Structure 1
Amino acid sequence: MAEVQALVNELATKLRKRKVEGSRETARLTAELLRTVISQQRVTSAALVEVVRDVGQQLIAANPVELAVGNIVRRVLRIIRDGDLSPEVGGLTLVSQGDDGDIVEEDDKPFLLSDAISQTILHPPSLVAQLESKPNLVCHFEGKADKTPSSWQFKHQIIEGVNDLIEDINTCHELIADQALELIHQNEVILTLGHSRTVKKFLYAAKEKKRSFQVYVAEGAPKHLGHVLANELTEKHLQTTVIPDSSVFAMISRVNMVIVGVHAVMANGGVIAPVGMNMVALAAKRHAVPFVVVGGTHKLCPLFPNNPEVLLNDMRCPSELLSFGDFSDCMDFSVGSGSPLLHVVNPAFDYVPPELVSLFVTEIGGYHPSYIYRLISDYYSADDIVLQQKPAS
C-alpha cells in the first residue's frame, strides 16, 4: 500500500498548496484517487468503508475549504454501502415450508428470485400471485458454498459505480449547458459575477443555439476575474458589458436574470459563493429578478453552514487588494500596542441564504432550494455526513 499512500500524499500536497483549480477538477481527481485505492484493496465492505474514510480525512485536512473533496468521498461511501446491500440473486431460492417445519420444493423446480424479478417487470401481478399461493416461503441459497457475492464481483461493482461518478463529473458542464435554451430567451439581459466555467459554457450554449442576448459582467474584485470572462465572451461574439461590483444595484433593474456559479451548495439550499455574491442576490431579490445558480451535483454538500466542519470563509493574501509597496509605510507598529496600524482583510466567499435563490440548475435538471434535502438523501448516507475524526477528550 506504499504506492497508494504516495498517491494520497501527492494529491493532499496539491490541495494544501492550492494547485488544483476549481471544484470540478478537485472532484475528478478525488474520485480517480479513490478508485485507485479501492482497486488495490482486498477487504470486506466494512473495512473498505474505513479505508475510504481514512483517505478522505487526509484529503479534507489538506484543504478544508474545498468542500467538493468531502462530497466525493461521501458519494463513494454511498456507492460502497449500496453495493453491500445488493446481494447476488442468481442463487437465491424461495421454497415452501410445510406445516411440520420440513422444507418442500414446489413442483420440483425452485422458485428463483431472479425469475420473479423479471416476471414482475413484465407482468407485475405474477409475483404477488405466486407469493400468495406459497404462504410459507423461506429463502435459502443453492449451489456454491460461498453464499455472498465474491470479493472480485463486489469490487467490480464498486469500481463501476465510481466510473459512473467520474463520467458524471466530466460531462456535467455539457449537460447543464444543454438546458440553456430553456432559461435564456431572445433579447434578454443576463448578469453574472466574476468568472465561472459552468456559466461560460451555459452562455456559449445559448449563443450557439441562435439566442441573441446581452451579458453584464460584474468584475468580481479583488481578483477581477470578470474581466477574463468578458474577454472570453466577446471572442464568441456575445454582447458584453463590464460593470464594477458597486454598480450592481444600479444596473439590476435592466436585467432579466442573474446566472452565477458557486463554490458549494449547502444542505439547507443556501450557497457558498465568491465574495460579493450576497450583494448581487439581495439586489436581485429587491427587483424581483430570478437568481439562478448553475453547478454540478458534486458541489452539493450534505452539511449545513453552521456545522463545525464547514469553514465558511477563507482569508486570501492581502496583496490581492494592495501591493506591498503601497502600504509598507503603514505597517509600522503603533506605540505601545505591538500591532500594525493597518490591517488588510480579504475574504474569499459569501454565504447566500436559500430564500435569495430562485433555481438550481444541475446536470440532472433544475430544482428549487427546498428540494435539496431530497437530492442529499439520494446521494449520501446518513452514516457518512461527518467524516472528520472527533478530537480525543
Structure 2
Amino acid sequence: MPDVQALVNDFVLKLKRRKIEGSQATAKHTAELLRQVVSQQRITYTNQAASLIDAVKAVGEQLIEANPVELAVGNIVRRVLHVIREENVSSAMSAVEELALGSDDDEAEHENRMGLSAAAVAAAARSTLRAPSLQTLLEDIPDSATAPHPSSSGGDSEGKSKSAAESSSRNKKLKHDVIEAINELIQEIDTCHELISAQAVEHIHQNEVILTLGRSRTVKEFLFAANEKKRSFRVFVAEGAPRYQGHVLAKELVGKGLQTTVITDSAVFAMISRVNMVIVGAHAIMANGGVIAPVGINMVALAAQRHAVPFVVLAGSHKLCPLYPHNPELLLNDFKCPSELLDFGEFSDCMDYGQLGDSPPIRVENPAFDYVAPKLVSLFITDMGGHSPSYVYRLIADYYSAEDLVVRRKAAP
C-alpha cells in the first residue's frame, strides 16, 4: 500500500502550486485521499470512531491550509467526518439490535446486556466521538459495568476474550462501512453533472432565451441536455473577461447546433431585457445561501434582479459550504496574474516609483471571484433537486455535523 503521508504531501504540493484547480477535481482528489487515510488508519483508541476522526482532521487541516480558496477541499473533509459519526452511531444501534434478538442467554444476563447496550448507545450519541480523555473515558463506562457479577475466573476470562473479539469485529466493520460511504461520495461527485443535467427539461422551455457568463461545465452539460430533448432555445454568452472563457463555451454550444450569441460583459445590462432566464455555475454555495462565483456574475445578478429575470445557479452538493462568508478565517477570493489583463511591458513607462518608498502610480488587480447575495438568487439546482436559498441551511444540516465546523485553516500568526 502507498505511504499515506507521501500521498498527503504530494496532494498538498499540487494544491499550493495550483496544479489541481476547480471544485470537482479538488473534491474528488480529497475524497480519494481520505479513503486511503481511513483504510490505513490503525485503531489505537478504545473509541475507534475518535481515532478515525483525529486522523481525518489532521490531514484535513493540511489540505485546507494548502489552498484555502478551494472551499471544496474543506467541504469534503467535513463530509467524511460526518460520515464517520453517522456510521459509528449506526454501528452502535446495530449492536443493540443484535443483543436484543439474542435468545440463548438467560433473562438476567439478557437484562444485564441490554442495560450495558443502552448505555453504550447513549455514550455513542453523546461523547464517544470526542477525542479520548479521562473525562470521556469515565463517561463511557456504564454504572452497571462496574458492578461485580457472580461468575468464575474462567467465565471472566472467557467474557474478556469474547468482548475483545467483538470489539475487533466492530472496528473492522466501522472502517468498512466508512470506506463504502466514501466510495458513494466519490460516485456522487462523478455523477453530479448528469444528475443536474437530467433536470434541464423541467426548467428550459421552448423558444426561451438563456444568458450565461464565462464557461461552466455544469452549465454546458445542462444546456446540452435540454437541446437533446428537442428544446429550441437561444443562448447569450457573456465572454467573461479577462480569461474569455465565454468564447470557448460559445464554440462548444455552436458545435451542438445551439443558437448562440456572444456579448461583452459590459453589454449584459443592455441585453438582459431580452432574456427569460439567467443560468450560471458557482464556485461555492455558502451557509446563508450566498454564492461564490466567477468574477462578473454579481453584475449579472444585479441586472437580472432589476429586470425581474430568474437567476438560477447550478452546483453539485460538494460545493455546499457550511461556513458563512463573514467568517474572518475564511478566504473567499483569489487574485490571478496581472498578465491576463495587460501584456508584460505595456505600462512600463507608468511603473516608475519615483522616489524610494513611493507607491507605483498604477496597480493591476485581477480578482477571480464575486460574492452574490442570497436575495439575488432565485433557485439552486443541485444533484439533489431544486432548492431556494432559504433551504440551504437544511441541506447543510443533512451533510455536515456542527462539531466539524472547526476544521479550517490555521489563523495567521
Which of the residues 98, 111, 118 maps onto 1:91?
Answer: 98
2:233 to 203, 213, 231: 213
SS of 1:13's partner is helix
Higher mean displacement: 142-151 or 180-189? 142-151
CA RMSD of aligned residues (A): 2.4
Instruction: Provide the residue aligned with 1:176 in structure 2.
Output: 196
Whether the aligned pair in 2 keeps the contact of 1:267 and 1:302 (CA below 8 Å) is yes
CA distance in 2, matches of 1:64, 1:199: 25
Counterpart of 1:161 (choices 165, 177, 181) is 181
C-alpha deviations, 1:239-276, integer Å up to 9, x for none? Answer: 00000000000000000000000100000000000111
Deviation at 1:47, TM superposition (A): 1.5
Question: Does residue 163 of structure 2 align to residue 145 of structure 1?
Answer: yes
Counterpart residue type for residue 360 of structure 2 = P
Partner of 1:314: 334
In the alignment, which of 226, 229, 243 is matched to residue 249 of structure 2? Answer: 229
CA separation in 2, counterparts of 1:9 and 1:189?
47
1:273 to 293, 298, 305: 293
Cα deviation for residue 290 of structure 1 reads 0.3
User: For 1:13-47, what per-residue CA distance to the aligned partner results, in whole angstroms no more than 9, with x for missing partners?
Assistant: 11111111321111000000000111101212102
List alignment gaps of at least 5 residues for structure 1. Answer: 96-101, 114-137
Partner of 2:21: 21
Cα deviation 1:330-351 (Å, max 9, x = unaligned): 2111335432221101111110
Which of 99, 104, 108 lines up with 1:103 in the alignment? 108
1:131 is aligned to: none
SS at match of 1:378: helix
Larger strand share, 1 or 2: 1
CA distance in 2, matches of 1:284, 1:334: 45
Q: In the alignment, which residue of structure 1 is the partner of 2:149?
A: none
Distance 1:302 1:74 in 2: 9
Report the equivalent of 2:39: 39
Question: Which whole-Å CA distance do the structure 2 matches of 1:334 and 1:215 have between them?
Answer: 50
Cα 1:105–1:311 shift into 2, 3 Å: closer
CA distance in 2, matches of 1:65, 1:300: 14
For 2:187 and 2:101, how far apart are their aligned partners in 1? Answer: 38
Inter-CA distance 328–345: structure 2 relative to 1 (3 Å threshold): same
Among residues 362, 367, 371, which one is paired with 2:387 in the alignment? 367
Q: Is the 8 A contact 2:15 2:21 kept in 1?
A: no
The residue type paired with residue 145 of structure 1 is: S
SS of the residue aligned with 2:358? coil
Q: Distance in 2 between matches of 1:266 and 1:105?
A: 49
Q: Contact between 2:315 and 2:381, CA under 8 Å: does it hold in 1?
A: yes
TM-score, normalising length: structure 1 = 0.86
Q: How does 1:378-393 map to 2 (within 5 A)?
A: 378-388=398-408
SS of the aligned residue for 2:342 comes to coil
Whole-Å separation in 2 of the counterparts to 1:369 and 1:7: 37
8 Å Cα contact 2:310-2:378 kept in structure 1:
yes
Conservation of the 8 A alpha-carbon contact between 1:42 and 1:151: no
Structure 1 391/352 Cα, relative in aligned 2: closer, same or farther at 3 Å? closer
Give the whole-Å Cα distance in 1 for the aligned partners of 2:110 and 2:176. Answer: 34
Q: How far apart, in 1, do the equivalents of 2:205 and 2:396 lie? A: 31
CA displacement at 1:144 relative to structure 2: 4.5
Residues 1:54 and 2:58 aligned together: yes
Name the residue aligned to 2:127: none
The structure whose residues are more often helix, as a share, is 2
- Name the residue aligned to 2:69: 65
2:316 to 268, 272, 296: 296
Structure-2-length-normalised TM-score = 0.82
For residue 103 of structure 1, report the CA deviation from its aligned partner.
Answer: 3.0
Q: Which moved more, 1:305-314 or 1:374-383?
A: 305-314
2:346 corresponds in structure 1 to 326
CA-to-partner distance for each residue in 1:69-108, whole Å, 9 max, x for gaps? Answer: 000000000000111111233522279xxxxxx83879xx
Q: Is the 8 A contact 2:189 2:316 kept in 1?
A: yes
Gap regions ≥5 residues in structure 2 = 118-143, 145-158
Distance 1:104 1:307 in 2: 53
In the alignment, is the contact (CA less than 8 A) between 1:334 and 1:341 conserved in 2? no
Q: Distance in 2 between matches of 1:291 and 1:92?
A: 54
CA–CA separation in structure 1 for the residues paired with 2:21 and 2:65: 17
Give aligned pairs, total.
357
